[in-house]
Amino acid sequence: MGSGGRRLLARVRGRSPRYLAQYAALRLTARLRAHELEFPLLSQDLADSASLRPPVERERNVDRAPEVAWLAAPPGPGSGGHTTQFRMMAAAIEAGQKTTLLLYDRHGGEFARKADVVRRAWPWMTADIRPAPDRITGYDAVVATSWPTAHVAASRVDEGRLLYFVQDYEPYFVPHGAEYALAQDSYRFGFRHIALGHMVQDALRDEVDAASDFVPFGCDTDIYRALPAAGPRRGVVFYAKRSNDRRGFALAIRTLSAFHEACPDEPIHIYGDAVDDAPFPHVAHGNLDPTALNALYNTVVAGLALSFTNISLVAEELLAAGAIAVVNDSPLPRADLGNPHAAWARATPSALAEELITAVRRPDRDAHAARVAASVVGRSWRETQQATAALIADELTRVGHPRA
């Protein structure tokens, strides 16, 4: 046996089948450069702010409804970013804009299946759904909703106005490098930016000197609200997203391990991704629709709502249901969550676990839950929806393109 074989044998000796399978997959992934498939764009759809030219003006007939397309990647059920986008689209339809959802998927695949996911998960979103064509024409305006779709809009749109509904500062999603630069460049394309929240507006100004129109964060208190108590609240909840590092999965697992060690009788609920390797007992719920999720929130004392960029929608939805939202302390999520009942902690397992422990050890935790829920009553997305629809309408009345 050669030295290479001996090294390999030493590496795998005594390892579990799970480790061996993971190691083999990792080596194969590296050999095949499979990570290249994670890049969210086709090469021909990459745009460059230094060489862009604006699309031509589309002649408007004021006697017809404006036609507006929204570009998005195909969502999975429960996607918070898509839920917010679809709320804005629903308001645009209500405001009289003929609205179309264009789905862009660099991997292709079956369009009918992707459209069916949208129809089943968001039945109230009634816009037409079509695949993004090679050349995008026939719309008075096109709204990008992420850095990849901003590149698609810049590369494929031939006519009409261009806007960008910005829910987060997306360069923060990846390490500093090529993808970071490409994401950052999407804010230099000259689109009209609609910034969801103060954190986004501040980042656009401070990082790329880009102007934006502000629209506020909302909360769906029609769904997320206090329900009649079915018994005393117990335990904590966590939304698991393994592949989304900005939502702190690895940190959350360590936090919940520390919490379980201190409070072994308090249940831990996990929904979203399966966590079959968790080092603590938990109740696995899988993916839940909003009504079922609110019912779960109404049974727990607190929940982890970690975010290392813009604030997660989970935080205020927990609060609306009477559960304390434990959030990693940072100026970014703090910018748009001013609720006094949120519990902020340093982003370490022990500090976050301590806030969960404090919450479940409150002697008045059920009475406190009522106060927490009351602090969110009256909140909604209505102002955000109306402002977004109005900004699109305003853009359609402007003369000249901003990057002309």
Domain definitions of the chain by residue range: 44-218+382-397, 236-374
Fold: same for 44-218+382-397 and 236-374: yes
Supply the pLDDT for residue 61: 77
List, for the chain, all residue ranges whose pLDDT scores fall below the cut of 50. 403-404
User: Would you say how long the chain is, in residues?
Assistant: 404
Task: Catalogue the long-range contacts made by 185-188 (C-beta closer than 8 Å, 24 or more residues apart).
Answer: 185/47, 185/48, 185/49, 186/47, 186/144, 186/147, 186/150, 186/151, 186/154, 187/150, 188/49
Tell me the CATH number of domain 44-218+382-397, given options 3.40.640.10, 3.30.465.10, 3.40.50.11090, 1.10.486.10: 3.40.50.11090
With residue 213 as reference, give the H or E element that holds it.
strand 213-215
Supply the pLDDT for residue 108: 86
Supply the pLDDT for residue 29: 62
Supply the pLDDT for residue 18: 75
Tell me, what DSSP letter sits at residue 129?
E
Supply the pLDDT for residue 113: 95
Whole-angstrom Cα distance, residue 190 to residue 188?
Answer: 5
Q: Which CATH class is domain 236-374?
A: alpha beta
